[in-house]
Amino acid sequence: MILYLDNAATSFPKPEEVYQAADRTLRRYGVNPGRGSYGLVLEAGRLVYRTREAVAELFNIADELRVVFTSNATEAINLALFGLLQPGDRVVTSSMEHNAVSRPLHALRARGIQVTEVPADRFGRLQPDDVKAAAMAGGQAARMVVLCHCSNVTGTVQPIEEIGPWCRRHGILFMVDAAQSAGLLPIDVQSMAIDVLAAPGHKCLLGPPGTGFLYLREDLQPTPLIFGGTGGDSMSEEMPEALPERLESGTLNAPALAGLLAGIEYVQRIGIRQVREHKTRLLEALLYGLRQLPGIRIYGPGTATEHGGVVSFTMAGRDPAETGFLLDEQYGICVRTGLHCAPAAHGTIGTLPSGTIRVSPGLFNTREDVDRLLSALTDMLGPNFSISQQGDVQ
Amino acid sequence: MIPENDIIALFKAPAVAMKAERLLRKAALDCRLIPAPREVAAGCSMALRCPAAQLSTMIRELNRLQLTPRAMYRKSASGYQPVTPSAEGEYHDPVSG
Ligand SMILES: Cc1ncc(COP(=O)(O)O)c(C=O)c1O
């Protein structure tokens, strides 16, 4: 049996309800929501609408029409950064970002946007005072602060509840990449003063791939990234002003969004706190077990309660890529190795260029799964083990 | 065919019409989305239809929800008559003021 421990990339498996909802929608309402107004289209549209409501409710978003569906978190992040930042703007970010944030910002530099990167410490932690100082550098408030809530490399959680309200008081837009935290950590756009929230639907919200969303505060009106049909006002040559249509041209993925609705309902039923507690227990067992092994180095805070859903480690004298390959080939265990699309984060924790081995258990993993990984690692480290003998390892 | 006296409301975007339908149904109104008749909207718009008897509740709820329609009409034998603020008192057309 394959053991999947790469839920930070995408959650797998999904709850049964998610498969059923996607399948049912594709079979019964496999039409184009928002194109035409016959009964089936309206049914599909209502389903998409209910998904918008579920997203809004989970993150305490007052108006669900400010939720724009995208095909993943990356698209949501690009939409916000390219759509809101203008030449001359200054944006503050961190050294823990995923390429989904740092690459758009790099491209925006060429368009006259100034980017300041605040370094985190070697555990991946950002000091709020450093962010504040960078945001006010030169006596002028930056246009935006954009931060990853929870690192996909170390699992470090940033204190967004402190930084958001501070940004609001200083008239700075606060944008959060919640790729690793949406569905795992409580997020309240109102109390955390989040103006822009980007998240995938396919990770901790348990939806299918091809889902993500962007929340935009009431008065934010980004330039669209994609121009095209929106199902209404067809005579106009301009994109509509109103959200979500302005930013949702093209056919929406209704079956996947129906799956996302089922995923969110599942998370709500279990409760975000319980989800977190389950993952914390698994990470606790993992961290404890890793510490018993020789030559293991753990990155990030090192205490399970301070890790979002992931733990990264290296093994002395071994290339993470090789370890990942062996875990897969010999033990049927899927973990992610390398740089995890976040080279700056690896620069911060000192793991360039080969990166780490990252383990991210999901909602359906058990303590036995963690034990299976730990015994595979023990086995690999055993006195008789070497790469040349890999054929002997069962 | 839209029955005589029924009310139709147009909104600034399809998702707003969708929201209005959902919330009005929650408020027990018997409304539903329909393709907007071409006499009142060019292109492929959606409209929200409601029975005439529920007009005042519809207006009250839409005002309360701050989902002001772009325009409202009443079906008559001779076509669609705009529902104007003067006729209904509470409905304020944002376009004509
Ligand atoms: C921190 C972070 N941001 C953004 C993303 C991109 O998410 P998506 O794959 O949905 O585009 C990821 C995914 O790994 C991530 O971990």
The 3 state secondary structure assigned to chain A is CCEECECCCCCCCCCHHHHHHHHHHHHHCCCCCCCCCCHHHHHHHHHHHHHHHHHHHHCCCCCHHHEEEECCHHHHHHHHHHHHCCCCCEEEEECCCCHHHHHHHHHHHCCCCEEEEECCCCCCCCCHHHHHHHHCHHHCCCCEEEEECECCCCCEECCHHHHHHHHHHCCCEEEEECCCCECCECCCCCCCCCCEEEEECCCCCCCCCCCEEEEECCCCCCCCCCCCCCCCCCCCCCCCCCCCHHHCCCCCCHHHHHHHHHHHHHHHHHCHHHHHHHHHHHHHHHHHHHHCCCCEEEECCCCHHHECCCEEEEECCCCHHHHHHHHHHHHCEECEEECCCCHHHHHHHCCCCCCEEEEECCCCCCHHHHHHHHHHHHHHHCCCCCHHHHHHCC
pLDDT per residue as tens digits for the range B30-71:
999 988 888 887 666 789 999 999 998 999 999 999 998 999
Tokens of A140: 């002028």
Rounded to the nearest integer, the mean pLDDT of chain A is: 94
* Residue B92 lies inside a defined structural domain of this protein: no
* Residue B47 lies inside a defined structural domain of this protein: yes
Rounded to the nearest integer, the mean pLDDT of chain B is: 83
* Residue B2 lies inside a defined structural domain of this protein: no
- At residue B1 the predicted structure's pLDDT band, cuts being 50, 70 and 90, is confident
CA distance A199 to chain B (A): 21
How many separate domains does chain B show?
1
Tell me what pLDDT residue B93 has.
Answer: 42
For A344-358, what is the mean pLDDT?
Answer: 92
* Residue B95 lies inside a defined structural domain of this protein: no
Tell me what pLDDT residue A384 has.
Answer: 55
Tell me what pLDDT residue A318 has.
Answer: 92
* Residue B63 lies inside a defined structural domain of this protein: yes
Model confidence at A248: pLDDT above 80: yes
Tell me what pLDDT residue A394 has.
Answer: 35
Tell me what pLDDT residue A390 has.
Answer: 44
Q: Which residues of B touch A56 (CB under 8 A)?
A: none
CATH among 3.90.198.10, 3.40.50.1580, 3.40.640.10, 3.40.50.300 for A66-249:
3.40.640.10
Q: Which CATH number do you get for residue B69?
A: 3.30.70
How is chain A split into domains, by residue range? 66-249, 271-389
The answer to whether the CB atoms of A65 and B45 lie below 8 A apart is no
pLDDT per residue as tens digits for the range A298-307:
999 999 999 9
For A292-316, what is the mean pLDDT?
Answer: 95
Model confidence at A391: pLDDT above 60: no
Domain A271-389 class in CATH? alpha beta
Tell me what pLDDT residue A150 has.
Answer: 98
CA distance B28 to chain A (A): 17
Residue B27 domain boundaries: 7-87
For A257-277, what is the mean pLDDT?
Answer: 98
ipTM score over 0.85, yes or no: no
Q: Give me the percent of chain A exceeding a pLDDT of 90.
A: 89
Range with lowest mean pLDDT among A233-242, B55-64, B72-81? A233-242
Model confidence at B13: pLDDT above 70: yes
Of A341, A346, A348, A358, the one to substitute when testing ligand 1's pocket (max ligand atoms within 8 A of C-beta) is A341
* Residue B14 lies inside a defined structural domain of this protein: yes
- At residue A236 the predicted structure's pLDDT band, cuts being 50, 70 and 90, is confident
Tell me what pLDDT residue A74 has.
Answer: 98
Atom of ligand 1 nearest to the CA of A72: 10
CA distances from A268 to A179, A183, A206, A279 (A): 18, 9, 11, 16
The answer to whether the CB atoms of B16 and A65 lie below 8 A apart is yes
For residue A9, report the distance from its CA to the centre of ligand 1, in Å: 7
The pTM assigned to this predicted structure is 0.91
For A378-388, what is the mean pLDDT?
Answer: 69
Does B12 reach chain A within 8 Å, measured CB to CB?
Answer: yes
Does A40 reach chain B within 8 Å, measured CB to CB?
Answer: no
* Residue B72 lies inside a defined structural domain of this protein: yes
The answer to whether the CB atoms of B43 and A233 lie below 8 A apart is yes
Q: Which residues of A touch B18 (CB under 8 A)?
A: 45-46, 49
The answer to whether the CB atoms of B18 and A46 lie below 8 A apart is yes
pLDDT per residue as tens digits for the range A154-210:
999 999 999 999 999 999 999 999 999 999 999 999 999 999 999 999 999 999 999
pLDDT per residue as tens digits for the range A69-112:
999 999 999 999 999 999 999 999 999 999 999 999 999 999 99
Range with lowest mean pLDDT among A254-258, A295-299, B6-10, B82-86? B82-86
Tell me what pLDDT residue B43 has.
Answer: 65
Model confidence at A48: pLDDT above 90: yes
Tell me what pLDDT residue A35 has.
Answer: 82
* Residue B56 lies inside a defined structural domain of this protein: yes
Q: Which is more confident, A287 or B65? A: A287
Tell me what pLDDT residue B90 has.
Answer: 52
Tell me what pLDDT residue B41 has.
Answer: 79
The answer to whether the CB atoms of A233 and B34 lie below 8 A apart is no
Tell me what pLDDT residue A361 has.
Answer: 98
